[in-house]
Amino acid sequence: MEVSREEYLLHLRREIAMTYNHFYQNYGIENSPNFWTEPIGNISPLDFLKERTDKKIIKTKIIHALAKEYGVIDSFDFEEFKSDWKKYNNDRSKRHEKGNVIYGSINMDIPSYYHYLLTNLEIQVKEKIIREEFSPDNRAMNDFYEQIKYSAFTYFDKIDVETFGFKYNSISYDSAEEEIKKVMKLLNMGYSMNDVSKKYPKGEFSQKVFYDSVPIYGEDNPDEIIKRIATTLSSGEYKIASVQEGIYVVTITNTPIQKIKTFEEVEKEVLYRYQNKKYIELLAYLADNAVLNKHQHNYASISPKDF
């Protein structure tokens, strides 16, 4: 499957921010006139960027090939894609001119349209492959459940939690960070949460009970974060929870009994996990065995001028 320079650059440009971040996080290197070509360690940022792009290209072409194999599309041709993109924008513009409601921007740029189609195509491909190739029998399902039940389906029915800390509306962020360290020292010396709360009038002491049967929604929900931390604690152990509203020390006051959900309770999730695992393994196998033949002159000529 041929990949034109133009299609390759659509993928490459999406990896630029990640490349900047990689070299800043790992080497403290910021953007500069020689950033892309100066070797850092064993590789230049430009070559690192190309390697990331190569992996994206391989996955994309695997999706295109599977889509054709499983009858989701007849084929993928980049020039035809560009014609479809122009038609898509033209149709939206005409509908907008007629006063029809158009959601989102009237015109979509070519990178956004490309990745929009690719995302939707992979969803269709995955659904079809899972339906046709990965329908396990009861034995396979039970075997898979046994493999993952301890990591995926263990839970604590009830956890009693105590917290003490500081809300940022009552104390500054920096002061709260310093005070929570002092609180941890006192707790590790044997003071109880209740004792410590009396020494810090600006602090907030609370007792909570969490039940596994009562879900807490939202990854940024303070109670969800505190509950998640509490499930990792042993009785008498303390951990710090930093949430949007403040910073707290968390401990548990009971020894929760760990339980495992039965196969019957989680059968649908077992099936989802099984099929998802098989699909990921299929993509990994195809990627490991894919061959990327590069036109060396064209490949080497890609430079920062292209982005």
CATH number at residue 158: 3.10.50.40
For the chain, what is the domain count?
A: 2
- Domain assignment present for 12: yes
Handedness of CA 79, 80, 85, 86 (dihedral sign): positive
Are residues 167 and 231 located together in one domain of the fold?
yes
- Domain assignment present for 23: yes
CB of 40 closer than 8 Å to CB of 29: yes
Handedness of CA 225, 230, 233, 238 (dihedral sign): positive
Among residues 224, 262, 258, 260, the alpha carbon closest in space to that of 244 is found at 224
Q: What is the pLDDT of residues 279-306, one digit of tens each?
A: 999 999 999 999 999 999 999 999 999 9
> What does the buried/exposed string (b/e) look like for 137-169 if buried means 16 or more CB atoms within 10 Å of the residue's CB?
eeeeeeebbeeebeeebeebeebbbbbbbbeee
Are residues 167 and 237 located together in one domain of the fold?
yes
CB of 10 closer than 8 Å to CB of 53: no
* Half-sphere exposure in the Cβ direction for 195 (13 Å, CA): 10
pLDDT (average), residues 44-71? 97
- Domain assignment present for 19: yes
Q: In the prediction, which pLDDT does 156 show?
A: 85
Q: Binning pLDDT at 50, 70 and 90, where does residue 179 land?
A: very high
Task: Compute φ and ψ for 221, nearest 5 degrees.
Answer: -65, 120
CB of 238 closer than 8 Å to CB of 161: no
- Domain assignment present for 268: no
Are residues 293 and 244 located together in one domain of the fold?
no
- Strand, helix or coil for residue 163: strand
Q: What is the pLDDT of residues 221-279, one digit of tens each?
A: 899 999 999 989 988 899 999 998 999 999 999 888 889 999 999 999 999 999 999 99
pLDDT above 90 for 14: yes
Q: Which domain holds residue 252?
A: 154-259
- Domain assignment present for 79: yes
- Domain assignment present for 231: yes
- Domain assignment present for 270: no
- Domain assignment present for 144: no
Q: In the prediction, which pLDDT does 218 show?
A: 74
Mean confidence (pLDDT) of the chain? 94
Are residues 92 and 174 located together in one domain of the fold?
no
* Half-sphere exposure in the Cβ direction for 280 (13 Å, CA): 6
Run of H or E including 119: helix 110-133
Q: In the prediction, which pLDDT does 138 show?
A: 95
Are residues 178 and 235 located together in one domain of the fold?
yes
Q: Rounded to whole angstroms, what are the CA distances from 150 to 122, 226, 262, 287? A: 31, 22, 11, 30
Q: Rounded to whole angstroms, what are the CA distances from 261 to 36, 108, 120, 154? A: 52, 46, 34, 6
Task: Compute φ and ψ for 301, nearest 5 degrees.
Answer: -80, -10
For the record, the structure tokens of 204 come out as 């907030």
β-strand partners of 205: 164
Say how many C-beta atoms besides its own lie within 10 A of residue 113's C-beta: 19
Amino acid, single-letter form, for residue 267: E
- Strand, helix or coil for residue 93: helix
What is the percent of the chain where pLDDT is above 90? 82
Are residues 91 and 160 located together in one domain of the fold?
no
